[in-house]
Amino acid sequence: MNSQQLFALAPIITVAGTAIAVMLGIAVRRNFILSFSIAAIGIIASMIALGIVWRESPIQATLLLRMDAYALFYMALLLSAGLAVLGLCYDYFKAREGENEELPLLLLTALLGGAVLACSSHFASFFIGLETLSISLFVLIGYPLNQARPLEAAIKYLILSGVSSAFLLMGMAFIYAQCGELYFNDIGRYMASRQEIDVTILSAIILIVAGLGFKLSLIPFHLWTPDVYEGAPAPITAFVATVSKGAVFALLLRYFISTESYAYPPLLNTLSCIAGLSILGGNLLALLQNNVKRLLAYSSIAHMGYLMVGFIAGGSIPSAWVVESVTFYLLAYFITTIGAFGVVSVLSTPDMEADDLSEYRGLFWRRPWLAAVFTLMLLSLAGIPLTAGFIGKFYIFTDAADGGLWGLLAAVIVGSGLGLYYYLRIVIVMSMSLKATEIKPAYDWVSAVLLAVLTIALIWFGVYPNLLVDVIQSLA
Amino acid sequence: MILPMLICVLLLGGFIAFISERWSQDAPRWMGVITLIAEALFLTLPLSWAEYADGLSPVWLADFHGPWIPRFGIGFHLVMDGLSLLLITLTVLLGFMAVSSSWTEINNRQGFFFFNLLACLAGTVGVFLAVDLFLFFFFWELMIIPMYFLISIWGHEHRTYAAAKFFIFTQVSSLLMLTAIIALVLIRHDKVGSYSFDYFDLLDTTLEPEAAFWLMLGFFVAFTVKLPAVPFHTWLPDAHTQAPTGGSVILAGVMLKTGAYGLLRFVIPLFPDAAHRFAPVAMTLGVVSVLYAAIMAFAQSDLKRLIAYTSVSHMGFILLGVFSWNLFALQGSVITMLAHGISAAALFMIAGALQERLHTREMDKMGGFWTVLPGLSVLTLFFSLASLGLPGLANFIGEFLVLQGAFSVNRVLTIAAAVVLILAPVYALIVMQKAFYGPLRWSAPLPDAGRREWASLGLLVLIAVWLGLGPQAVLNISEPAVKNSIAMERG
């Protein structure tokens, strides 16, 4: 490794270094605010490092990591999401009894795993990144140790995550057995050199998709999602829903493009089934929920299905176009999901999650701004114009129409119709007449600023997406 | 600049109305009036500035083109021709009516109510102006959301169900339209090599017959759901009945016209051949709507529901007229749009006024109001007659022209549609019979129409008579636009 490669790794090293700094900080003096501040400064420093590396990109830092515009953009996205979740955690945990100082540490290690995933170009870094992320997430989900539900969720996540990792490793082993390579580009070269479809490789990729499908919570690998979303503390749920999925998706897309797996039609058919099932199943199950966190869990399953539609279209449209569209969609999903869970988090306390639909009754008249933010986020999830979610959905429609995926497009339309029903249900409940009891009158300024920024971004990218589209276009 | 201003004034007024609730309870209402007056003033400008619409044929009265998302060839392109001018005028007029009918009816959260009302109008004006298909879709969706809030917050007993049904029907159908729009743009991209959502670029695109048919169907479904025509009409009776009066006025008077406008502006010019092949089906749907809704109207006991079904019936005439696609039928459709806007809005206002007094819409509980409410009774009689197509009033002109135009295209369907001239008096007069004649069945004292009600409904009476006796002035405004549509399709 030469100095330029080391320099290229600066953002990752910064995150790792910050994690150590937080740990040492706790050893010296246990202080809630100090711990969060170090983490926040570290994430911001890492983002500045990203900006500096951007000018030098692309750099292949050893076979394991590839720091190109794509990786850097996704890392920036993950770090911003991490920063937002850190802010939400600050307000959520500040009143909690007990030791909350390790929370930023775990967020940082999870981000480290996510960042490695976003830039990995080799099975080794792929697996290391994924496990770093998953193990940190497991502890984060179960962080309120003395409560039953988070613990249950954490155990569930741990076991299923372990199983999915086993699938993943099996897939990697098959590929290695067949072509003797672990570096994505070499695998791609091997695949391109073969004329006919290789059954071992095909089953290997399906195993890998199954493993990653678990992280993306695609049907039929979704069973953990509602329970973990419900059990985890609200800001951590936001983290699971965005950073973990975003990082895995970034990797999946890079893997498919650089190994030319798009050339395997049976694979695309399998993925189409998974996507269609996720869209319809996610939306149908969401209809039955009375718990806002579970509802958002099923809605996120459906959204990953929409995202997969754009992804699958890569079989017949240029990959640059796929990268542009799914990246926009994912970004809109990040803003919206963090915003929605941010609202849940502001209303919740570590002892009492505000996740029952009845707690949102009359929110419009009790806390109008919060309700307005939530409404906008829900409209964005439903893909209504004026919000970033609409432009994202527009991209997915364009992908599907361009790729001739009419069946999946029909599923997206039906899914959006179903989706509207349950998103509107929350809005209607919020606009119902006042309930006398106040849940939590405390004023959380960090969350308030975060939600304001997210809302502005949501509308800005929804009304005037030009700037963002230009940046994303330069990735591929 | 005048065209974006038309939209901005309404939005800005809406925001001020929203905030102004803090200063005074009355402020939002007055803000609504002021905003609409400003809008009306702006509207008179394009006519005098007609010569500034450069680069387009003189049919277009005003033009505004700005960049928006160049990546996809999406521009902020607004134009106005005679048709949009007439419909926007109707929008502003009924905006006043909606504000007037909400004056005392809405007494909670007025700021938010008038914000939604004005935002809804802004979206509708945007729909009538946009000629970039992406922008059109944007406004198309944008007008639904405030209407959803109007129904779901200030509506009547089943408001939640009605609002969700309304939203989901329109949203799903509009996603079909979005698919068709994107597919059309992609087909053009394959042929020409560049993306453009601009109406005038897409008009020149040649399509394979099969592709054209499916794309046309995507647009057609979105517009007939909004129109609405049988079998997509089931959201309408619920939404109209449950909406507050102001919402019903906007919904029936203006929003339904966006469907008719879309058919006229987009479906036929963009897909002329496919539309011609599809015309018999569409015209049949129109005639079925006309007759079926008229019969359904007769069967209702809920006054607002009855009026809602008459709307479906009248909209069927528009569908018939548009797909006949000749000058008579199209001009008839335009007049029907305006006439129905006025008569349906007026009837909903009367229904709202009755409900405010009686707290019921059930006609079985009414009766004999002629003696206690002479003013309202006369007005109801007038607009019922207008609605059934009495010669001398606006609706008659529209229906007559549509039938005349359609006769040369399809005689059987035209004759079938003409049967409604018997059915319409039945449902119109049943209202009079049940609610206003017979013995008085209401003991509590009832105040007759007040000054505000007389002023707003009286204005509508004058306009209905004027349109009925001298429609030529309006026909002259819409004629170049309609002729241009016919010519565009040929070229």
In tens, the pLDDT along B421-440 reads 899 999 888 888 888 888 88
pLDDT band, very low/low/confident/very high, at A367 (cuts 50, 70, 90):
confident
Structure confidence at residue A129 as a pLDDT band (50, 70, 90): very high
> Given this model, what pLDDT does residue A438 score?
56
Percent of chain B with pLDDT over 70: 97
- The SS3 assignment for B130 reads strand
- With CA atoms as reference, report the closest residue to B476 among B314, B334, B339: B334
Tokens of B415: 């004759």
Q: Could you give the 3-state DSSP secondary structure of residue A183?
A: strand
- Which residues of chain A approach chain B closer than 8 Å at the C-beta? 365, 379, 382, 384-386, 390, 394, 397-398, 401-402, 409, 412-414, 416-417, 420-421, 424-425, 427-428, 431, 464-466, 469-470, 473
Q: What span, in angstroms and rounded, lies between the C-alpha atoms of B94 and B112? A: 19
pLDDT, tens digit, 9 for 90 and up, residues B98-109: 999 998 888 888
- How far A143 CA lies from chain B's nearest CA (Å)? 39
Q: Name which residue leads in pLDDT, A125 or A190.
A: A125
User: Which residue in A276, A278, A468, A284 sits closest to A391, CA to CA?
Assistant: A468
Please indicate whether, in this complex, the C-beta atoms of A397 and B179 are within 8 angstroms of each other: yes
Q: H or E stretch including B362?
A: none
Q: What is the mean pLDDT of chain A?
A: 91
- ipTM (interface pTM): 0.90
Helices (H), A318-387: 319-347, 363-366, 368-382
From chain B, the residues in CB contact with A402 under 8 A are 186
Tokens representing A9 are 């790794």
Between A385, A398, A401, which is nearest B138 by CB? A385
Asked if A192 and A260 touch (Cβ cutoff 8 Å), the reply is yes
Closest chain A residue to the Cα of B69, Cα to Cα? A466
CA of A160 vs chain B CAs: smallest distance (Å)? 36
The DSSP call for residue A217 is: T
B-chain residues near A469 (CB < 8 A): 69, 71
Q: Of B340, B328, B433, whose CA–CA distance to B380 is shortest?
A: B433
> Is the CB of B71 less than 8 angstroms away from the CB of A469?
yes
Q: A422: distance to nearest CA of chain B, Å?
A: 10
- CA–CA separation, B342 vs B215, rounded Å? 33
Interface test with A, best of B171, B187, B215 (most A CBs within 10 A): B171
Q: B273-319: per-residue pLDDT in tens?
A: 999 999 999 999 999 999 999 999 999 999 999 999 999 999 999 99
State residue B491's pLDDT score: 47
Q: For the residues B322-347, what does the mean pLDDT come to?
A: 93
Residues of B with Cβ-Cβ distance to A385 under 8 angstroms = 137-138, 141-142
For chain B, report the end-to-end CA distance as a whole number of angstroms: 30
Q: In angstroms, how far is CA B413 from the centroid of its own chain?
A: 24
Phi-psi region of B187 (alpha: psi -120 to 50; beta: other; left: phi over 0): alpha
Chain B residues lying within 8 Å of A416, measured CB to CB: 171-172, 175
Contact criterion met (CB < 8 Å) for A397 and B167: no
Q: Show residues of chain A in contact with B172, CB under 8 Å.
A: 413-414, 416-417
> Cβ of A328: how many Cβ atoms within 10 Å?
24
Chain B residues bordering chain A (beta-carbon distance below 8 Å): 68-71, 109, 134, 137-138, 141-142, 145, 148-149, 152-153, 160, 163-164, 167-168, 171-172, 175-176, 178-179, 182-183, 186
Across the interface, whether the CB atoms of B70 and A379 are under 8 A apart is answered no
* pLDDT value for B437: 87
What are the pLDDT digits (tens) for A215-263?
Answer: 999 988 999 999 999 999 999 999 999 999 999 999 999 999 998 888 8
Mean pLDDT within A304-315: 94
pLDDT at residue number A368: 86
Q: In the 8-state DSSP scheme, what is residue B132? A: B
Give me the numbers of helices (H) and strands (E) for chain A, helices first please.
Answer: 21, 2
Task: Select from A405, A406, A412, A428 the residue whose CB has the most chain B CBs within 10 Å, as the one to mutate to test that interface.
Answer: A428
Average pLDDT of chain B to the nearest whole number:
90
Candidates A399, A406, A414, A431: best to mutate against B (most CBs of B within 10 A) is A431
Q: How far apart are CA B144 and CA B174, in angstroms?
A: 11
Residue A365: its chain B contacts at CB < 8 A? 109
Its pTM stands at: 0.92
